């Protein structure tokens, strides 16, 4: 996966490469799709959701430039794989999932595999998680027409936020990186993606 998908496609951060080579993606999948764990494609999980392809996980993570002292918020836990990747690069991860069954399964998987600095909460991610705000990095793993205002409010000074923007899964969405610079929020487009919608 690392040699054939990540390195040839712009993943250059050695910490991200190391973590992607260590986190066992198959452990976050059901038995029926485990054999496809390291293929470069999104895979179906329960509740009509997906686990993102490895390259997208790596590039989103790299774009956030995670630091060991950072506090991270993830919106859209899904299987818990992205949270596991983040947890090896930052101090603490709060990950929010709207579907209770997905949250429970992800929490069990993360705990079983020893990702002890991840907290899974059942919540509407559009409101973020004010209790632990502000966050140095925020990763949204579902597409939204706009950036939810609560997430902007919960972004720390010099914080980074990555989110797919788009209205439909039938068309490519624009993955954007936002960075807080003083009172300003600057953004740039990263690449086209296709995510399930943020609910």
pLDDT of residue 183: 84
Rounded to whole angstroms, how far apart are CA atoms 144 and 164? 7
Residue 46 belongs to a domain with what CATH number?
A: 3.40.50.150
Tens digit of pLDDT at every position of the chain (199 positions): 999 999 999 999 999 999 999 999 999 998 888 999 999 888 888 877 888 899 999 999 999 999 999 999 999 999 999 999 999 999 999 999 999 999 999 999 999 999 999 999 999 999 999 999 999 999 999 899 999 999 999 999 999 999 999 876 667 799 999 999 988 999 999 988 888 878 7
Rounded to whole angstroms, how far apart are CA atoms 192 and 195? 10
Is 84 inside any structural domain?
A: yes
Is 107 inside any structural domain?
A: yes
pLDDT of residue 45: 86
Is 128 inside any structural domain?
A: yes
pTM of structure: 0.94
Nearest alpha-carbon partner for 162 in 72, 43, 80: 72
Radius of gyration of the chain (CA): 15
pLDDT of residue 169: 61
Rounded to whole angstroms, how far apart are CA atoms 142 and 196? 5
CB burial string 60-78: b at 16+ within 10 A, e below? bbbbbbbeeebbbbbbbbb
Is 199 inside any structural domain?
A: no
- Residue numbers annotated as active site: 52
pLDDT of residue 43: 87
Give 20-75 pLDDT, tens digit per residue: 999 999 999 988 889 999 998 888 888 778 888 999 999 999 999 999 999 999 99
Is 102 inside any structural domain?
A: yes
pLDDT of residue 39: 92
Is 198 inside any structural domain?
A: no
Considering its fold, how many domains does the chain have in total? 1
Q: Which residues pair with 43 in a beta bridge?
A: 51
Residue 141 belongs to domain spanning: 2-193
């Amino acid at each position: 996966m690392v040699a054939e998908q990540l390195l040839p496609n712009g993943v250059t951060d050695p910490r991200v490469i190391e973590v992607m080579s260590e986190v066992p993606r198959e452990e976050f999948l059901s038995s029926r799709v485990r054999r496809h764990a390291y293929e470069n494609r999104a895979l179906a999980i329960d509740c009509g959701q997906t686990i993102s392809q490895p390259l997208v996980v790596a590039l989103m993570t790299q774009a956030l430039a995670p630091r060991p002292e950072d506090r991270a918020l993830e919106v859209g836990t899904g299987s818990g794989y992205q949270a596991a990747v983040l947890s090896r690069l930052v101090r603490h991860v709060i990950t929010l999932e709207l579907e209770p069954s997905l949250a429970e399964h992800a929490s069990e998987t993360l705990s079983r595999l020893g990702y002890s600095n991840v907290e899974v909460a059942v919540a509407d991610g559009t409101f973020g998680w004010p209790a632990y705000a502000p966050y140095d990095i925020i990763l949204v793993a579902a597409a939204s027409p706009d950036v939810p205002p609560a997430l902007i409010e919960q972004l720390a000074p010099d914080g980074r936020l990555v989110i797919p923007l788009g209205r439909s899964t039938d068309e490519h969405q624009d993955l954007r990186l936002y960075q807080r610079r003083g009172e300003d929020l600057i953004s740039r487009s990263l690449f086209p993606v296709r995510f399930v919608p943020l609910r």
